[in-house]
């Protein structure tokens, strides 16, 4: 049986009662975290234009546009909200699958729930957990890592289709078709990172939109391909030249849910920056170092998967042209950590990335590619800060936010509050607190769309 068929059948079978408690709690955290990153992302470059565009399409008033308000067709609302959620690169990651999962599944689920009308919290949690599980399993099956693809949208089409399809009540055959229709659309590439282009954030929106479209088309009886992952012309053979590991796709399917292995981000930038940021902040805390004292900073990082995305071209990474350049730069984020003692939303604005103090330190950051750092999932990092009088070093194995070094739910709540303060339009504090409270007991809600009304 093709893994796509197995996943589709599993999604139809699994109900909230089948989810382990750890999966329920992780899903609730992911829902709150994704909403927060989308609220903050509403103010990011490109997002007002996307909102303006989807509102121009008009159509049936089904689903809410976060922060900006108003209701538009569900597929368009999902596109806008998912794009916002990915704009700051602040959304969840699966450190083993090397992708973001909630940013496609959660907006697709909320838009579908609003289209349906009234969806209870238990059904909603199950749909999101299943969608996230599909995305993460697909990433774990790919031994190459991202390569030229951005896996978040490529696999996100499938996870969004499953999350939407579960809420729509698709049966086994229609869910299989939904997966096949998702494959017909699946795309996403890394050129946007090379060019510092805003399409990096938009691709998650395309996936959320396409996933809902796939589920709705399947519901209408449109037939999609069946063996969409492992057939001779299935995704892993066409997109990855047959280089994949089948086991992660179905191992413990229906008994273990990869949502439990999600990491949450304390810093709004590429997750692969985080170990070196953690190390730099630890050095700064233990040994107060001023920028003027710094002679050089060496960051020891992995050789495989390829780390050059965050270091090359080195002149661009030290002197970011755009906010996207800065989000994908170890020199810039390490310099922020050392100079400002933090890496936060305010560090990824046009004025911030031109700060001469930060750029001066960034130009002293150099990599050493160390095979001892190589591993499949998010790799460790060691940072050495050399000053005129001393050299300080720190090694980080598990970046903060990993399940082995977790961000507690109250920290996710604080992150949500900070995200709300950075929204394109103010969100009343009482609404912010109400959303946090509702997310904490989501399984008790009769109608999860109350959350969208509070944030719209």
Query: pLDDT means per 10 residues in the chain (456 residues)?
Result: 97 98 98 98 95 91 97 97 97 95 98 97 98 98 83 97 98 98 96 89 97 98 97 96 96 98 96 96 94 95 73 94 94 97 95 96 94 83 94 95 94 97 95 98 97 96
Chain centroid, CA 178 distance in Å: 22
Q: Which of 365, 396, 427 is the last residue of a domain?
A: 396
State pTM to two decimals. 0.94
Residues 34 and 79 in one domain: yes
Q: Which helix (H) or strand (E) holds 297?
A: strand 294-301
Q: Which of 371, 396, 421 is the last residue of a domain?
A: 396
Per-residue model confidence (pLDDT) at position 302: 85
Residues 58 and 148 in one domain: yes
Residue 101 CA to residue 108 CA, distance in Å, equals: 12
Q: Which of 346, 366, 396 is the last residue of a domain?
A: 396
In a domain, 171, yes or no: yes
Residues 103 and 219 in one domain: yes
In a domain, 401, yes or no: no
Which pair of tokens denotes residue 395?
């090694």
Residue 288 CA to residue 291 CA, distance in Å, equals: 10
Quote the radius of gyration of the chain (alpha carbons, Å).
21
- The number of residues in the chain equals 456
Residues 130 and 275 in one domain: no
Per-residue model confidence (pLDDT) at position 431: 98
Number of domains in the chain: 2
Query: Where do runs of H (alpha helix) occur along 141-198?
Result: 151-168, 172-185, 191-195
Residues 130 and 250 in one domain: yes
Per-residue model confidence (pLDDT) at position 417: 97
Per-residue model confidence (pLDDT) at position 378: 83
Residues 374 and 411 in one domain: no
Measured CA to CA in angstroms, residue 445 lies from 21, 107, 138, 351, 368 at distances of 17, 18, 31, 43, 51
Per-residue model confidence (pLDDT) at position 305: 55
Per-residue model confidence (pLDDT) at position 288: 87
Look up the CATH number of the domain holding residue 285.
3.30.1330.120
Look up the CATH number of the domain holding residue 177.
1.10.4100.10
Per-residue model confidence (pLDDT) at position 146: 67
In terms of Cβ atoms closer than 10 Å to its own Cβ (0-12, 13-18, 19+), residue 45 is middle
Q: Which domain holds residue 336?
A: 271-396
Per-residue model confidence (pLDDT) at position 204: 97
Cβ contacts of 317 within 8 Å, gap of 6 or more: 310, 311, 325, 328, 329, 330, 331, 332, 362
């Amino acid at each position: 049986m093709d893994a796509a068929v197995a996943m589709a059948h599993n999604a139809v079978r699994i109900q909230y009662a089948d989810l382990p408690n750890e999966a329920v709690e992780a899903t609730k955290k992911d829902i709150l975290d994704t909403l927060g990153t989308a609220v903050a992302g509403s103010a990011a470059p490109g997002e007002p234009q996307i909102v303006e565009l989807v509102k121009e399409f008009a159509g049936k008033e089904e689903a809410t546009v976060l922060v900006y308000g108003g209701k538009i067709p569900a597929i368009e609302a999902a596109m806008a909200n998912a794009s916002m959620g990915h704009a700051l690169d602040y959304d969840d990651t699966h450190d083993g699958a090397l992708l973001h999962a909630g940013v496609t599944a959660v907006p697709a689920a909320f838009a579908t729930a609003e289209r349906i009308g009234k969806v209870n919290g238990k059904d909603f949690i199950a749909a999101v957990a299943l969608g996230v599980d599909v995305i993460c399993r697909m990433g774990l099956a790919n031994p190459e890592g991202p390569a030229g693809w951005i896996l978040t949208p490529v696999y996100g089409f499938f996870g969004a289709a499953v999350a939407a399809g579960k809420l729509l009540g698709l049966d086994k055959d229609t869910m299989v078709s939904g997966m096949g229709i998702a494959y017909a659309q699946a795309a996403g590439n890394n050129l946007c990172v090379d060019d510092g282009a805003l399409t990096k954030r938009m691709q998650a929106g395309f996936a959320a939109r396409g996933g809902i479209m796939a589920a709705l088309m399947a519901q209408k009886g449109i037939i999609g391909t069946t063996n969409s992952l492992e057939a001779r012309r299935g995704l892993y053979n066409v997109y990855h030249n047959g280089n994949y590991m089948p086991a992660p796709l179905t191992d413990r399917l229906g008994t273990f849910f990869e949502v439990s292995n999600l990491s949450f981000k304390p810093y709004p930038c590429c997750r692969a920056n985080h170990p070196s940021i953690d190390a730099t902040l630890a050095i700064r805390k233990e040994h107060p170092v001023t920028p003027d004292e710094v002679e050089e900073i060496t960051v020891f990082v992995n050789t495989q998967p390829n780390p050059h995305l965050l270091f090359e071209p080195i002149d661009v990474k030290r002197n970011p042209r755009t906010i996207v350049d800065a989000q994908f730069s170890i020199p810039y984020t390490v310099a922020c950590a050392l100079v400002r003692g933090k890496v936060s939303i305010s560090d990824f604005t046009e004025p911030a990335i031109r700060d001469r103090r930060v750029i001066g330190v960034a130009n002293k950051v150099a990599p050493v590619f160390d095979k001892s750092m190589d591993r499949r999932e998010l790799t460790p990092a060691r940072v050495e800060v050399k000053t005129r009088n001393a050299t300080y070093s720190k090694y980080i194995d598990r970046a903060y936010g990993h399940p082995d070094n977790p961000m507690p739910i109250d920290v996710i709540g604080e992150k949500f509050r900070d995200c709300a303060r950075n929204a394109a339009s103010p969100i009343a504090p009482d609404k912010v607190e109400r959303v946090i409270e509702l997310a904490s007991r989501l399984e008790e809600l009769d109608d999860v769309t109350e959350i969208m009304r509070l944030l719209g």
